[in-house]
Chain A
Amino acid sequence: MTKLIYNEMVKMIRKKRLWVIALILLVLIPIFTYAQYRTTENAIKQLGTSNWRAILQQQIVDQQNRLASARVPEEWKSYIKLSIQQNQYYLDHDINPAAPGAPTFVRKFAEDAVSLFFPLLVVILAADIVSSEHAGGTIKLLLTRPVARWKILLSKYITLLFSVSFMLILTIVFGYLLSGIIFGYDGWSLQVMIGFNQQGEHLNVDHVQLIPQWKYILMAYGLAWFSCITVATISFMVSVLVKNTASSMGIMLAAVISGSILSQFAPNWSALKYLAFTHLSLTEYLEGQPLMLDNVTLPFSLAVLTAWSVVSLIIAFVTFSKRDVLA
């Protein structure tokens, strides 16, 4: 089995998929860093001060203005209200939620990337892991060895899990090193607040606590890992079912993107909460900003994602072991 996984790792590396991911991160992280830098700069300029309290207060004013607008739907209003309460809490307790520093960037990056950017990278890794063997005809060589089919598929799946984990580690390392050039490398022990709880219209602050930022980052990337694994697993199944790499990638991109659009587009369509791709932003549970969907909790989201993964794996393994290789 280790030999099979080694084989798959060789292919993954020599196909240059991991390099593509590294390159994308190397190009995009500096852009995001610069963007964040400009945003901060702008806010400072607008307010005429580098005081984060002023920025936060401005944010609250903005949100109150949006709340007053008649064009904002009801669902959004309660969401904005909660956000205001949260910001108010930061102000009252003298905590700067966006204290600059490379660790803060790494944290923010995870929160922003988890719903779309990470899934897209995962799809790049996963979409052709099985379908490329069909497209290249090498599947015939793999399946005519004295090795059970499920072992071959399992070695591919394990390789995929390694690659996805490696991708997240790479994001942390690159994010930290590159953004640190501008923001400085301090801030691991910065205190971050978690545990906001939504109870009806009110923000329940009973369980709010402060934790060091490194702990928060670990938790955020753990949750991001979980949602990435789900995307990888579903993508893996699609790669087994569709023998053409381009279609496999296309199907997954469409699914990921529509999942992310749908949850904003029709937040009160309750059936959406059973779709995997509307639960990808797991990190939102940490910060306490509730998901767009009604009545979902972290365990519910994890359960939905797990169910999708398990079903995908079963379909992938059954199909792969039984299927005739006709072309």
Chain B
Amino acid sequence: MKTNHNIVLSVEDLGKKIGKRDIVHHISFDVKEGEIFGFLGPNGAGKTTTIRMLVGLIKPTSGTVRICGHSLSADFMNAIRHVGCIVENPELYLYLSGRENLEQFARMLPDIPSERIDEVVDLVELTPRIDDLVKTYSLGMRQRLGIAQALLGNPKLLILDEPTNGLDPAGIRELRNFIRRLAKEKGISVFISSHILHEVQLMCDRVAIINQGTIVQTAAVQDLMQQETLVEWDLKPATDGRDRLGQLPYVSRVELREPSKVIAQMPRDKIAEANAHLAGGDIQVSGIRAHHPTLEDIFLELTGGPAHDETHL
């Protein structure tokens, strides 16, 4: 099999069955070099199970995980060597100091000089407290030590499970900037799971949305939001206007809301074109409003979240 050097993590048809229950199934995606990839899903969708399969804590019942071309199941050592991870909370040895923790992990990696420890400690700005016991650290500091630990072996892929859990807004922003910088400056790919949409929207380049154990969509965050732009048209006569909009190939959905309001799902950059098309059909356009959808809207639509539930109630 040819290995694509730009693809750092390649997941193919990954599945896990426990007993008769499919926890996750048919998970496939690729993470490219230097990319921040979001893994989004509600609680219980199978995010953590998938992440644990990516780092070898859980053995998949089907499918393969390749990291830098090495199969995780067949060649665990060479695959996992390129990975730094925090699975759930950064759980460290509380009775050791920050430095002793890092030394523990350094001894489990091939050839980590002690300068590398100073380097990562400096990177996460823990230098003044590194010789204190981890017991005395705040959650934010533990999180940073966790990241230092993950970066120790110069990984090509950083896997972070819910990294912003328990952090305050300032801490979240700090982490976000830090991760962006890592990806941009060091070319490290980052795989981040989250159930906080806003986070993913701000941090990630691409996103996979998982629901009930399977991926419902994978796309660049920009495309996802572009494709889902809702444009509200004030038209007269509205029904003719709706039909005429519906003829356009790039309008994916159109519906009549109020007597003179038509909602169309379409790319933003096609609004002028659509306007001209309507004018050509003798339809009066008295207002155009583009809605900026948040990832949240898209997410709820894709996962059939609360918005839909409400209509059923």
A: residues with CB less than 8 A from B are 3-4, 6-7, 10-11, 14-16, 136-138, 140-148, 322, 324-326
Contacts and interface: CB of A to CB of B under 8 A. Distances in A.
Contacts of A11: 93, 96, 104
B151 interface: no
Contacts of B153: 146
B52 A137 contact: no
A114 to B, nearest CB: 31
Interface string B45-67: 00000001001111100000000
B95 A140 contact: no
A143 B108 contact: no
Contacts of B100: 10, 14
Contacts of A326: 52, 58
B313 interface: no
A140 B87 contact: yes
Interface in B47-103: 52, 55-59, 76-78, 80-81, 83, 85, 87-89, 91-96, 100
Contacts of A3: 107-108
Given A7-B108, A141-B149, A324-B58, 8 more contacts: A4-B107, A6-B107, A11-B93, A14-B96, A137-B88, A144-B55, A144-B83, A324-B59
Contacts of A137: 88-89, 91
A108 B89 CA distance: 50
B109 A146 contact: yes
Contacts of B55: 140, 144
A144 B78 CA distance: 12
Contacts of B58: 324-326
B57 A143 contact: yes
B281 interface: no
B107 A140 contact: no
Interface residues of B, number: 31
Contact of B80 (A7, A146, A325): A146
B80 A140 contact: no
Given A7-B104, A14-B100, A146-B81, A136 B57 contact: no
30 contacts: A3-B107, A6-B107, A7-B108, A10-B100, A11-B93, A11-B96, A14-B96, A14-B100, A15-B95, A137-B89, A137-B91, A138-B91, A138-B92, A140-B57, A140-B87, A140-B88, A140-B91, A141-B149, A143-B57, A144-B57, A144-B80, A145-B80, A145-B109, A146-B81, A146-B108, A146-B109, A146-B153, A148-B77, A324-B58, A324-B59
B107 A144 contact: no
Contact of A141 (B52, B77, B92): B92
Q: Identify the 6 closest CB pairs spanning chains A and B, nearest first.
A: A137-B91, A145-B108, A325-B57, A3-B107, A324-B58, A146-B81
Given A14-B100, A324-B57, A144 B110 contact: no
